[in-house]
Amino acid sequence: MTANKIRTLDMVSDSSGMDDFTAIKKVKNSEDSDTSSDNVDEDGNKLTKMARAFKTIIECLGEDSGREGLESTPMRAAKALQFFTKGYCQTVESVVGEGIFNEDTESDMVVVRNIDIHSLCEHHMVPFSGKVHIAYIPNGKILGLSKLARIADVFSRRLQVQERLTRQIAQAIMDSISPKGVGVVLEATHMCMVMRGVEKQGASTVTSTVLGSFKDDKQTRAEFFNLINCTK
């Protein structure tokens, strides 16, 4: 009798414990759901504010923001600008993920050329686009090749100046895998020079950043520039 009672009490206790665990899990799931919902609401509020601002800009230009061709433009423009600057919502760690691998290398240079980049000039908020060439000499670790392009996107999808963008890409690679050296060259055309101001078609801007052995070793630096300039 006593044993049965004890067994029954244990079962009640276990059941109660399970109920507590389930309740805690439900609360956590509810909190996660609330956080996700809050993020969605915040994004929606930002888009709405941006759309109102675009509507005001359109009207200040002398246009009718309510006509058929422009009626939905404010929200479309807000969503486009949000995409153009999505780098603010990304980190190097998140885009690299598990794309770092151990690899024994000795003075081998990894070069990825002609990576497309698109950004917005922070001075006029008009586009500049071009190609970035990235090289590094591993020091026991390598990056998945696509991760180099993703790192470039993290920083290019923001309001930028080309000089800072070039250095940020190089420094991010240095911080991610501690290579012996990094070299980055970026060539771009700026619409602020083409569509306005001096209006010079065909002008391009080239910036470079060299770190580690690329900065210290003239031969390494020369090899890098030769590789990115070869035509084959």
Catalytic residues: 121-124, 162, 190, 192
DSSP β-bridge partners for residue 115: 132
The span from the CA of 227 to the CA of 232, in Å, is: 9
Give the DSSP letter string of 161-182: -HHHHHHHHHHHHHHHH--SEE
The span from the CA of 150 to the CA of 100, in Å, is: 13
Q: Which amino acid is at 179?
A: P
Residues in Cβ contact with 225 at an 8 Å cutoff, skipping those fewer than 6 apart: 185
Q: In the structure encoding, which two tokens stand for residue 149, read together?
A: 């392009």
The span from the CA of 126 to the CA of 129, in Å, is: 10
The span from the CA of 43 to the CA of 37, in Å, is: 10
H or E element, residue 34: helix 2-60
Q: Are 204 and 188 in contact (CB under 8 A)?
A: yes
Locus of tokens 């390494």: 220
User: In 3-state terms, what secondary structure has residue 228?
Assistant: helix
User: How far is Cα of residue 13 from the mean position of the Cα atoms in its chain?
Assistant: 50
